[in-house]
Amino acid sequence: MKVLKWVVKRFFPKKLLKGIKDLRLKVKGRKNERLFKGQNVICPCCGKMFSRFMHYIDDHPRFKDTYKNTQCPYCFSAPRHRIICSYLENNIDNVFGKRDNAIIMFGAEYSIKKWFHRNGFRYVTSDLFDRTADIMCDIQNTPFPDETWDLIVCNHVLEHVPDYKKSLKELQRILKKDGLLELTVPTDRNFETVFENPSIVSKEERTKIFGQYDHVRIFGNDFENILVELGFSVEVIDGNNLPNNIVGVIGPANYDDNRVYLCRKNVTKTDQ
Ligand SMILES: [Zn+2]
């Protein structure tokens, strides 16, 4: 089965692969929609209502106390996605103004794509390994000219890359002067600063320490300061301030701390 999956991922035509992926999620979502029929909670990503959010099953210790009632049954959004889509929904005019903005998502997420589709926005997806992405590139060194994008969405990507500061500088370079960069990262509130250790290389150790086999760091309490030092002006949206029927809980892992960072370039008057 593993071999078959590898062959499909590696050799199937990109369009077909993308179609299969989306169809699988659609069928699963339709089934869940019936199972969780109700009106107690609402997902701003897909716009659907349910009796409750689903539990996210993962046997890693970091999910032990935070996995319940976290995932949208239909579009599989986590709380962080619902915070982002709720923000986009409430700020649609200030953020975009017009529908022909240049939007890119690094590490494209099904639930956020749903919001863009529902609201008539076009976007481009980018990933280093995923063949279904529109553009395959390294976030540390992208092929885009300076100031290309009005909106950059980058969720849970910076814990995977070798150099996260280089990636942030690259995102700053390709963001338009009045553009918006939306970021989330796994954060352990017990750490004052970023925790990374290049000697931790095995999948087992990375899973144990960082929560996933391909994570190479976990961020700490100073992430906002890091962004400011790199020249962004930062607005933090705390999901705890949103209604319980959208984001009731932290999770699904204990490093999903329900904070979304909205970053803009610091532009002086002479730059404008
Ligand atoms: Zn949803």
**Which pLDDT value is given to residue 10?**
65
**Which pLDDT value is given to residue 254?**
86
229 C-alpha to ligand 1 centroid (Å): 35
47 C-alpha to ligand 1 centroid (Å): 6
Token pair 């539990």 in the structure block, residue: 55
79 C-alpha to ligand 1 centroid (Å): 10
Choose the weakest-confidence range: 4-8, 53-57, 161-165, 217-221: 4-8
90 C-alpha to ligand 1 centroid (Å): 17
CATH of 78-271, one of 3.40.50.1240, 3.30.70.120, 3.40.50.300, 3.40.50.150: 3.40.50.150
Confidence of residue 181 (pLDDT cuts 50, 70, 90): very high
265 C-alpha to ligand 1 centroid (Å): 31
46 C-alpha to ligand 1 centroid (Å): 4
Mean pLDDT (the chain) is 89
Residue type, 102: A
245 C-alpha to ligand 1 centroid (Å): 12
45 C-alpha to ligand 1 centroid (Å): 5
22 C-alpha to ligand 1 centroid (Å): 14
Mean pLDDT of 256-267: 90
112 C-alpha to ligand 1 centroid (Å): 9
Token pair 């960082």 in the structure block, residue: 210
44 C-alpha to ligand 1 centroid (Å): 7
74 C-alpha to ligand 1 centroid (Å): 5
CA dihedral 184→187→189→194, nearest 10 degrees, is -110
228 C-alpha to ligand 1 centroid (Å): 32
**How far is Cα 9 from Cα 119, in angstroms, rounded to an integer?**
30
Question: Measuring CA to CA, which residue among 175, 55, 31, 42 is closest to residue 115?
Answer: 42
| This prediction's pTM | 0.90
272 C-alpha to ligand 1 centroid (Å): 39
Long-range contacts of 224-227 (CB under 8 A, 24+ apart): 224/261, 226/165, 226/168, 226/194, 227/168, 227/183, 227/261, 227/263
Say if CB 69 and CB 52 are below 8 A apart: yes
Confidence of residue 269 (pLDDT cuts 50, 70, 90): low
84 C-alpha to ligand 1 centroid (Å): 12
56 C-alpha to ligand 1 centroid (Å): 14
Q: Is the pLDDT of residue 242 over 90?
A: yes
- Interacting residues of 154 by C-beta distance below 8 A, sequence separation 6+: 105, 106, 107, 139, 171, 181, 182, 183, 184
110 C-alpha to ligand 1 centroid (Å): 9
Token pair 């009796």 in the structure block, residue: 51
Mean pLDDT of 133-141: 94
128 C-alpha to ligand 1 centroid (Å): 26
116 C-alpha to ligand 1 centroid (Å): 12
